[in-house]
């Protein structure tokens, strides 16, 4: 009988151990439940704090300059895509306009240098400058009126109208036009009555 009692006691002890073990797992289950409650989603209608508001770009140009609208629209699209702050985007516009202003000033200085060179030229400048320019402008008569105006505008806009080489070229052509001899109507220049074959083969002339 004592043996049965001990076995029963052992069984009781084992059962008790199982019960204790079960009780020991309860805090872990409670911990898992606490972890699940932490992953809650934000209430409907709320806006995440890190969502940036739409940036409005209003670019300013230096005084006396006008920004090209098409280029502004292209840059605005890029700035929005990169989410550039408005002040950083304006800083980039300022840099580009500064470079453009410097380029324009350098070109204007170059045009003035060209004009000064032709004004100081010994053959075409000095007291002869006015006559030189008037002779050079005779080249425009070789072109139709619209093309002549377009050509003149191109020279003025680019500054090549002041370039010494261009002035010399136009002056030479204009001078050649001035030296052409006028042939009255009805009269034939010398040799005009000679046939083509005789002009080509003068040794065969009678």
What Å distances lie between residue 99 and 62, 104, 170, 189, CA to CA?
A: 12, 9, 34, 61
SS3 171: helix
Whole-model pTM: value is 0.56
> Which tokens is 14 given?
């084992």
pLDDT recorded at residue 179: 78
pLDDT in the model for residue 117 = 95
Can you point out the beta strands (E) in 41-98? none
Cα–Cα dist 158/161, whole Å? 8
Are the beta carbons of 203 and 197 closer than 8 angstroms?
no
pLDDT tens, residue order, the chain (206 aa)? 444 444 444 444 444 444 444 444 455 544 444 444 444 455 555 554 444 568 899 999 988 889 999 999 999 999 999 999 999 999 999 999 999 999 999 999 999 999 999 999 999 999 999 999 999 999 999 999 999 999 999 999 999 999 999 999 999 999 999 876 544 444 445 544 444 444 444 554 54
């Amino acid at each position: 009988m004592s043996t049965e009692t001990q076995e029963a006691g052992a069984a009781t002890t084992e059962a008790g151990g199982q019960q204790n073990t079960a009780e020991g797992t309860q805090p872990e289950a409670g911990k898992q439940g606490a972890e699940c409650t932490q992953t809650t989603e934000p209430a409907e209608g709320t806006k995440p704090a890190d969502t940036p508001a739409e940036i409005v770009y209003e670019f300013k140009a230096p005084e006396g300059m006008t920004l090209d609208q098409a280029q502004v629209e292209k840059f605005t699209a890029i700035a929005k895509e990169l989410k550039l702050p408005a002040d950083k985007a304006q800083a980039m516009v300022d840099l580009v306009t500064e470079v453009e202003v410097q380029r324009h000033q350098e070109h204007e200085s170059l045009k003035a240098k060209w004009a000064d060179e032709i004004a100081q030229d010994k053959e075409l400048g000095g007291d002869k400058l006015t006559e030189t320019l008037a002779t050079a402008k005779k080249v425009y008569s070789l072109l139709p009126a619209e093309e002549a105006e377009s050509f003149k505008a191109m020279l003025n806009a680019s500054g090549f109208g002041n370039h010494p080489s261009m002035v010399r070229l136009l002056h030479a052509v204009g001078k050649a036009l001035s030296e052409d001899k006028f042939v009255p109507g009805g009269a034939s220049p010398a040799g005009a009555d000679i046939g083509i074959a005789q002009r080509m083969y003068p040794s065969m002339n009678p």
